[in-house]
Amino acid sequence: MAARTADLTGGRPVVPSRGVLRPLGLSEVRITGGFWAQRQATNGRATLDHGREWMDKLGWTGNFTAEVGRGSAERRGREFSDSEVYKLIEAMSWETGRQADPARDTEIAELTTMIAGAQAAGGYLHTAFGRPGQQARYGDLAWGHELYCAGHLLQASVARARTSGDDALLNVARRVADHVCEEFGPAGRDAVCGHPEIEPGLVELFRATGEQRYLDQAALFVARRGRRTLPRHEFGWSYFSDDIPVREAKVLRGHAVRALYLAAGVVDLAVETGDDELLETVAAQFDRTLARRTYLTGGMGSRHLDEAFSDDFVLPADRAYSETCAGIAAIMVAWRLMLATGRERYADVIERILYNVVATAIGDDGRSFFYAHTLHQRSLTAVLPGDVEQLGFGGGPRAPWFEVSCCLANTARMLASLSTYVASVDDDGLRVHQYADADIDTTLADGRRVGLRMRTGYPDDGTVGFEVTAAEPGPWTLALRLPAWAAGATVTLNGEPQSATGDRVVLRRDFAVGDRIVLALPMRPRFTRPDPRIDAVRGCVAVEQGPVVLCVESVGGELDLDSLRVDAGTDPAADGGVTVRGVAEELPERPWPYADAGPVGQRTTLDVPLVPYHRWARSGPSTMRVWLPTT
């Protein structure tokens, strides 16, 4: 790993001081069109305001006001609602970095003033604890989410600092962090928060400020995790990742978002402390999680009860939990691991999650969201009116809001900062990880300026065209990711075929402005078969097309999806839409569903149309399934 100096410019979400890859900032990569540009526009136009409106309506912003602070007005929302305001500010910050917006700048400044006003003298900041009539500070570390909220504040403050000249929120965050270091430092409480998040927050604040004690405090929290200092709970210590010390664990477990936020912080810590053993430990945990505990969509966490990972290979399609936030947290981990190790396969993971969790989560209007992502909807989805909050969390259709509404701001901050996941710089040159209409303008490791224009209809089309728009003399490398599914991909450089094997195409030459590269990824739909240990989908296939998982959807429920069997011996067809050959079998009613032989029904052959999974439930109540039983 090469060490680098951190800086506050360029709008980078994660700025490790060393690693195989250097991330680019919002000012260095712009998404200019296509699939994600449309979603970024909706995010900036609708989602941020939608979030603000609901947080005002529900009193989550109002909790920061003096009336609540003095106890003369009731605090509203759950104990983690402060964090939603912070995540929204983080999203707004990336959005202003993506596209200047003075009105939004003013909004952020006003919110910052409001938040600063709620900060206690010693730096403590949480609207649900320690004030008149409230529970004492840190009186409920398991569930209070105090350090969790602080962690999101730290991340938001860093986002704001990296996308503006405004360090007002950073100053609030410094005082929070100083307070945390004092309260939980070596001589302080020997404790951790029930919900990890302070860890990546502290490391990022260290990166933004150079303050060593923040990094040390993150190290202390990571060292303490897994010692069972949190109280016994019916979900077990694993729920909090507090069952096994971080360095001893073999896989992610318990509450998925908790485990993934912690893993992100551990990667950050390992990178900043040069602890390669810790880095490889958390990489192995994540790799094993990918191999045994991840849905085809890249979604993680299969249990509704505790929003948790289950045992290896317990990945039911029915009621798949796979919450939006776990998808985003998994991107955070994968991105950090890729920056540190340069392993391109983590970009495959990011792509999978983006197209099949993040893109699925958002309604077309940017004002409704999936919290959880089932892979099999047997009964017709309900439709919620636009002004109705979904109680609790979890199942159900896209809703305008959830009582636990972490998914909205999380999605918003991911979309606003998405361009920074497109490419990075390594010691040899430029690496492109994600394919989209984008303009890249950055500097190589040796300081030479480089520009690249990328244009594509991806993921509808597998052809990605590149044109070098800036180059200085001397050779450098342009590396283009080859997704694991893209066997048979081809690439040309100024019309000349190039080798395209392994996990990336590597083109090294003395590039000139105007050089053209065309990457052709095979986009024919393909059948995918699950590991036989995933009992829940045994005997089924899924259909994927490029990075996109497809599904069968029946709007109105006219087609009984559970009667379908597909012929996995005949390749999916792709003229017009994607279809697979199959039969619908009308099964007889039986009083008991178990017998020495299965039921036999009337079979009708048919071509079954598939749609992208991320498109489902957008055209009214429907049933849906991703995994299709074979004939």
Taking the complex as a whole, the smallest distance from the CB of residue 265 to a copy of itself amounts, in Å, to 24
| Closer residue to a copy of itself (CB): 18 or 288 | 288
514 binding a copy of itself? (CB under 8 A):
no
C-alpha 441/C-alpha 447 separation (Å) is 12
Pseudo-torsion of CA 444, 419, 21, 216, nearest 10°?
120
Please select the residue that binds a copy of itself; options are 93, 281, 294, 405, rule is CB under 8 A: 294
| Closer residue to a copy of itself (CB): 352 or 431 | 352
C-alpha 487/C-alpha 471 separation (Å) is 31
Q: Between helices 406-416 and 324-341, what is the axis angle to 10°?
A: 40
537 binding a copy of itself? (CB under 8 A):
yes
496 binding a copy of itself? (CB under 8 A):
no
Question: With 0-12 CB in 10 A as exposed, 13-18 as middle and 19+ as buried, what is 360?
Answer: buried
| Closer residue to a copy of itself (CB): 238 or 420 | 238
> What three-state secondary structure class fits 118?
coil
Taking the complex as a whole, the smallest distance from the CB of residue 612 to a copy of itself amounts, in Å, to 17
The full length of the chain comes to 631
DSSP 562: G
| Closer residue to a copy of itself (CB): 150 or 540 | 540
Buried b (16+ CB within 10 A) or exposed e, 292-318: bbbbbbbbbbbbbebbbbbeebebbbe
> What three-state secondary structure class fits 447?
coil
| Closer residue to a copy of itself (CB): 408 or 423 | 408
Name residues contacting a copy of itself, limited to 296-325 (CB under 8 A): 296, 303-305, 310-314, 316-319
- DSSP per residue, 188-246: S-----SS--HHHHHHHHHHHH--HHHHHHHHHHHHHTTS--SPP-TT-GGGGT-SS-T
x/- contact string, 237-276, with a copy of itself (CB under 8 A)? ----------------------------------------
Segment contacting a copy of itself by CB under 8 A, of 195-203, 333-341, 388-396, 504-512: 388-396
Taking the complex as a whole, the smallest distance from the CB of residue 528 to a copy of itself amounts, in Å, to 5
Taking the complex as a whole, the smallest distance from the CB of residue 206 to a copy of itself amounts, in Å, to 32
- Cβ atoms of residues 357 and 299 within 8 Å: yes
Please select the residue that binds a copy of itself; options are 393, 401, 458, 613, rule is CB under 8 A: 393
Segment contacting a copy of itself by CB under 8 A, of 17-25, 59-67, 488-496, 524-532: 524-532
596 binding a copy of itself? (CB under 8 A):
yes
531 binding a copy of itself? (CB under 8 A):
yes
Instruction: Count Cα neighbours of 427 within 13 Å in the Cβ-side half-sphere.
Output: 10
Taking the complex as a whole, the smallest distance from the CB of residue 596 to a copy of itself amounts, in Å, to 6
Structure tokens given for 217: 């405090």
Taking the complex as a whole, the smallest distance from the CB of residue 258 to a copy of itself amounts, in Å, to 18
- Cβ atoms of residues 366 and 42 within 8 Å: yes
Distance of CA 434 to the CA centre of its chain: 15
| Closer residue to a copy of itself (CB): 86 or 286 | 286
Question: With 0-12 CB in 10 A as exposed, 13-18 as middle and 19+ as buried, what is 497?
Answer: exposed
C-alpha 521/C-alpha 546 separation (Å) is 8
Segment contacting a copy of itself by CB under 8 A, of 128-136, 152-160, 172-180, 531-539: 531-539
Taking the complex as a whole, the smallest distance from the CB of residue 522 to a copy of itself amounts, in Å, to 12
Taking the complex as a whole, the smallest distance from the CB of residue 607 to a copy of itself amounts, in Å, to 21
C-alpha 325/C-alpha 148 separation (Å) is 14
Q: Tell me which H or E stretch contains 266.
A: helix 256-273
369 binding a copy of itself? (CB under 8 A):
no
353 binding a copy of itself? (CB under 8 A):
no
488 binding a copy of itself? (CB under 8 A):
no
Please select the residue that binds a copy of itself; options are 464, 479, 489, 534, rule is CB under 8 A: 534
| Closer residue to a copy of itself (CB): 201 or 557 | 557
Q: Cα–Cα–Cα angle for 411, 28, 269, nearest 5°?
A: 60
Question: With 0-12 CB in 10 A as exposed, 13-18 as middle and 19+ as buried, what is 30?
Answer: middle
Name residues contacting a copy of itself, limited to 88-147 (CB under 8 A): none
Residue with tokens 């604040």: 205
Taking the complex as a whole, the smallest distance from the CB of residue 536 to a copy of itself amounts, in Å, to 5
> Which residues does residue 573 pair with via DSSP β-bridges, in sequence order?
579
| Closer residue to a copy of itself (CB): 195 or 319 | 319
Please select the residue that binds a copy of itself; options are 39, 174, 345, 413, rule is CB under 8 A: 345
Name residues contacting a copy of itself, limited to 183-242 (CB under 8 A): 232-235
Taking the complex as a whole, the smallest distance from the CB of residue 530 to a copy of itself amounts, in Å, to 6
Please select the residue that binds a copy of itself; options are 392, 514, 556, 577, rule is CB under 8 A: 392
Residue with tokens 């860093």: 158
631 binding a copy of itself? (CB under 8 A):
no
587 binding a copy of itself? (CB under 8 A):
yes
> What three-state secondary structure class fits 449?
strand
C-alpha 349/C-alpha 344 separation (Å) is 9
Smallest CA-to-CA distance from 495 within 520, 474, 460, 523 is with 520
403 binding a copy of itself? (CB under 8 A):
yes
| Closer residue to a copy of itself (CB): 58 or 468 | 58
Please select the residue that binds a copy of itself; options are 245, 342, 394, 465, rule is CB under 8 A: 394
- Cβ atoms of residues 23 and 339 within 8 Å: yes
Name residues contacting a copy of itself, limited to 556-575 (CB under 8 A): 562-563
| Closer residue to a copy of itself (CB): 170 or 375 | 375
- Cβ atoms of residues 286 and 336 within 8 Å: no
Taking the complex as a whole, the smallest distance from the CB of residue 26 to a copy of itself amounts, in Å, to 31
- DSSP per residue, 334-374: HHHHHHHH--THHHHHHHHHIIIIIHHHB-TTSS-B-SS--
Name residues contacting a copy of itself, limited to 61-90 (CB under 8 A): none
**Site residues (vs a copy of itself, CB under 8 A):** 232-235, 287, 290-292, 294, 296, 303-305, 310-314, 316-319, 345, 376, 378-379, 390-394, 403, 484, 526-540, 542, 562-563, 587, 589-599, 627, 629
